[in-house]
């Protein structure tokens, strides 16, 4: 649609449309993707991605990563994730970190994995925080630093991530990056176990051997208080 101005110039009113078109294509494409209709989803997502939709780019990356409606192609997945990551999409940044850590479609590079995990972690992505914490624990791509590992695990644990709660419990039990505290360790193991983690169920019984009945009761009180303040 156009409108002629008094000066004779033509204003193209349609210039504002692509963003809304991209949003509509993404929503329709994502709906089809979630329904498992990948053939219908792909052209809609491609159109939205071409208009700069990072969410569409991420979904296309997932389609190539898992081979959903297309031949599995990790390089194509990495390409789409990189586009979205460059636009600041935390999910894409996390996924790109996973590819670099695993050497899928890109060279295995823990330093690059750490870079992308950090970008997503700083946006509050719990899974990225956990994986970044693991890199610090193992000294992969970064210098081993248990204090940094504990810091990232704590952020994710406070967000309710079960693996982070388990890992934080392990650090407290061993005094890695934090002062050894069996009560605090038992608290985090209790929370992770409540979230369904079987390893945490076993570890809380192991750490209990270092605790008195009163200390176990205190750990359970702390875990209950945390759970009450952070309903799942």
pLDDT one-digit tens code per residue, 17-61: 355 556 788 999 999 999 999 999 999 999 999 999 999 999 999
Q: What is the distance between the alpha carbons of residues 34 and 84, in angstroms, rounded to a whole number?
A: 19
Share of the chain above pLDDT 70, in %: 91
Q: What is the pLDDT, as a whole number, of residue 5?
A: 31
Instruction: Measure Cα distances from 181 to 66, 128, 145, 161 in Å.
Output: 42, 26, 19, 21
Span 64-93, pLDDT tens digits: 999 999 999 999 999 999 999 999 999 999
pTM of the model: 0.88
Does the pLDDT value for residue 120 go beyond 70?
yes
Pairing type for strands 2-4 and 10-12 reads antiparallel
Structural domains of the chain, with CATH: 74-144 (1.25.40.10), 160-232 (no CATH)
Band of pLDDT at residue 9, cut at 50, 70 and 90: very low
Q: What is the pLDDT, as a whole number, of residue 4?
A: 35
Q: What is the distance between the alpha carbons of residues 157 and 149, in angstroms, rounded to a whole number?
A: 12
Instruction: Measure Cα distances from 191 to 21, 207, 209 in Å.
Output: 44, 14, 18
Band of pLDDT at residue 231, cut at 50, 70 and 90: confident
Q: What is the pLDDT, as a whole number, of residue 2?
A: 36
Q: Nearest Cα to 197, choosing from 168, 228, 175, 220?
A: 168
């Amino acid at each position: 649609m156009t409108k002629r101005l008094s000066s004779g110039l033509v204003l193209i009113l349609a210039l504002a449309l692509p963003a809304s078109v991209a949003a509509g294509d993404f929503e329709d494409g994502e709906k089809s993707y979630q329904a498992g209709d990948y053939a219908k989803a792909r052209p809609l997502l491609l159109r939205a991605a071409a208009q700069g939709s990072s969410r569409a780019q991420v979904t296309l990356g997932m389609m190539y990563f898992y081979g959903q409606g297309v031949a599995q192609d990790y390089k194509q997945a990495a390409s789409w994730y990189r586009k979205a990551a460059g636009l600041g999409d935390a999910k894409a940044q996390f996924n790109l970190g996973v590819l670099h850590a695993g050497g899928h479609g890109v060279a295995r590079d823990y330093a690059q994995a750490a870079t992308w995990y950090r970008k997503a972690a700083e946006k509050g992505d719990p899974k990225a925080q956990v994986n970044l914490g693991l890199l610090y624990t193992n000294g992969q791509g970064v210098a081993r630093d248990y204090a940094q590992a504990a810091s990232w695990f704590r952020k994710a644990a406070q967000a309710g991530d079960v693996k982070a709660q388990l890992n934080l419990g392990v650090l407290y039990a061993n005094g890695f990056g934090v002062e050894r505290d069996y009560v605090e360790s038992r608290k985090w193991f209790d929370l992770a176990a409540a979230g369904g983690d079987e390893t945490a169920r076993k570890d809380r019984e192991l750490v209990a051997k270092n605790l008195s009945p009163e200390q176990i009761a205190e750990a359970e009180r702390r875990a209950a208080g945390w759970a009450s303040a952070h309903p799942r």
